Structure 1
Amino acid sequence: MKIVHVITDLAVGGAETMLVRLIRTSQREGLQHVVISLSREAPLADRLVELGVEVRVLGMRRGMPDIRTFRRLIRWLDELEPDVVQTWMYHADLMGGAATYGAQAARFLRGAHVKRPALLWGVHHTDLRLAGSARMTRWIARACALISSRIPDRIVCCAESAKASHRQGGYCAQRMTVIHNGIDLERFHANPRAREMLRRSLGIGALTPLVGIVGRYHPVKDYGTFIAAMRIVIDAMPECRFVMAGQGLDPSNDELAALLNAAGIAHACSLVGPQAEPQTLLAGLDVFCLSSSSEGLPTVIGEAMACEVPCVATDVGDTALLIGTTGRVVPPQDPEALGRALCSLLALPRDELTRLGHAARRRIQSHFSIEASWRRYEETYVEALGKREQSAI
Structure 2
Amino acid sequence: MRILHIISGLGVGGAETLLYRLAQVSRATHAEHLVVSLSSVGIMGGKLQALGVEVRALGMDNGVPQPLLVRRLIDWIVEFSPDVVQTWMYHADLLGGFAARIARRMRASRTADRFGLLWSIHQSEYPTFRSEPKLGVVAKCCAIGSSRIPDLIICCAETAKANHVRGGYSPARMHVIHNGFDVESFKPRPEAGSSLRRLLGVDENAPIVGIVGRYHEVKDYDNFIAAIARVHGRMPACRFVMIGHELNDDNRALQASLEQAGVRAQCHLLGPRDDVQALVPGFDVFCLSSRSEGFPTVIGEAMACGVPCVATDVGDTAVLIGEVGRVVPPRDSRALAEGLLSVLSLSDEERRNIGALARSRILSVFSIDSTWQKYERVYAAVKEGAWACAELRAS
| TM-score clears 0.5 | yes
Residue in 2 that maps onto 1:231? 229
| Alpha-carbon distance in 2 for matches of 1:389, 1:91 | 23
From 200, 208, 213, the equivalent of 2:198 is: 200
1:155 is displaced (CA, Å) by: 0.6
Runs of 5+ in structure 2 lacking a partner? 389-395
Residues 254-278 of structure 1: CA distance to partner in whole angstroms, max 9, x if unpaired? 2222222232222111111222121
Amino acid at match of 1:167: V
Residues 164-220 of structure 1: CA distance to partner in whole angstroms, max 9, x if unpaired? 211222111111111111111111110001111111111111111111111122221
Kindly tell me: are residues 37 and 201 of structure 1, through their superposed partners in 2, closer, same or farther at Cα, counting changes over 3 Å? Answer: same
1:21 is displaced (CA, Å) by: 0.8
| Alpha-carbon distance in 2 for matches of 1:113, 1:71 | 20
Amino acid at match of 1:20: Y
Residues 17-54 of structure 1: CA distance to partner in whole angstroms, max 9, x if unpaired? 11111111111364201111222261111211111100
From 142, 145, 148, the equivalent of 2:146 is: 148
- Is the partner of 2:183 in helix, strand or coil? coil
Tell me if the contact between 2:152 and 2:387 (Cα under 8 Å) persists in the aligned partners.
Answer: no
| Alpha-carbon distance in 2 for matches of 1:252, 1:240 | 23
| Alpha-carbon distance in 2 for matches of 1:355, 1:30 | 38
Residue in 1 that maps onto 2:67? 67
Alignment of 1:78-157 (within 5 A): 78-105=78-105, 112-113=110-111, 115-129=113-127, 134-157=132-155
Residue in 1 that maps onto 2:362? 364
Kindly tell me: are residues 39 and 262 of structure 1, through their superposed partners in 2, closer, same or farther at Cα, counting changes over 3 Å? Answer: farther
Residue 172 of structure 2 corresponds to residue 163 of structure 1? no
| Alpha-carbon distance in 1 for matches of 2:275, 2:381 | 36
Residue in 1 that maps onto 2:56? 56
| Alpha-carbon distance in 2 for matches of 1:11, 1:332 | 28
Kindly tell me: are residues 131 and 286 of structure 1, through their superposed partners in 2, closer, same or farther at Cα, counting changes over 3 Å? Answer: farther
Tell me if the contact between 1:118 and 1:388 (Cα under 8 Å) persists in the aligned partners.
Answer: no
Tell me if the contact between 1:212 and 1:285 (Cα under 8 Å) persists in the aligned partners.
Answer: yes
Tell me if the contact between 1:132 and 1:220 (Cα under 8 Å) persists in the aligned partners.
Answer: no
Amino acid at match of 2:239: R
Residue in 1 that maps onto 2:187? 189
| Alpha-carbon distance in 2 for matches of 1:21, 1:305 | 18
Kindly tell me: are residues 349 and 388 of structure 1, through their superposed partners in 2, closer, same or farther at Cα, counting changes over 3 Å? Answer: closer
Residue in 1 that maps onto 2:391? none
Residue in 2 that maps onto 1:45? 45
Amino acid at match of 2:336: L
Amino acid at match of 1:100: A
Residue in 1 that maps onto 2:171? 173
Tell me if the contact between 1:8 and 1:37 (Cα under 8 Å) persists in the aligned partners.
Answer: yes
1:356 is displaced (CA, Å) by: 0.6
Amino acid at match of 1:74: I
- Is the partner of 1:39 in helix, strand or coil? coil
| Alpha-carbon distance in 2 for matches of 1:384, 1:133 | 34
Residue in 1 that maps onto 2:13? 13
Kindly tell me: are residues 29 and 341 of structure 1, through their superposed partners in 2, closer, same or farther at Cα, counting changes over 3 Å? Answer: closer
Amino acid at match of 1:288: F
| Alpha-carbon distance in 2 for matches of 1:94, 1:175 | 15
Count how many residue pairs are aligned between Structure 1 and Structure 2: 388
Amino acid at match of 2:141: A
Give the TM-score taking structure 2 as reference length.
0.93
Kindly tell me: are residues 131 and 204 of structure 1, through their superposed partners in 2, closer, same or farther at Cα, counting changes over 3 Å? Answer: farther
| Alpha-carbon distance in 1 for matches of 2:230, 2:53 | 47
Residues 231-251 of structure 1: CA distance to partner in whole angstroms, max 9, x if unpaired? 111111111111111222222
Residues 117-173 of structure 1: CA distance to partner in whole angstroms, max 9, x if unpaired? 211011111121469963211221121111100000011111111112112221111
| Alpha-carbon distance in 1 for matches of 2:335, 2:129 | 22
Q: What percent of counterpart residues are identical?
A: 52
Give the TM-score taking structure 1 as reference length.
0.93
Residue in 1 that maps onto 2:392? none
| Alpha-carbon distance in 2 for matches of 1:196, 1:58 | 46
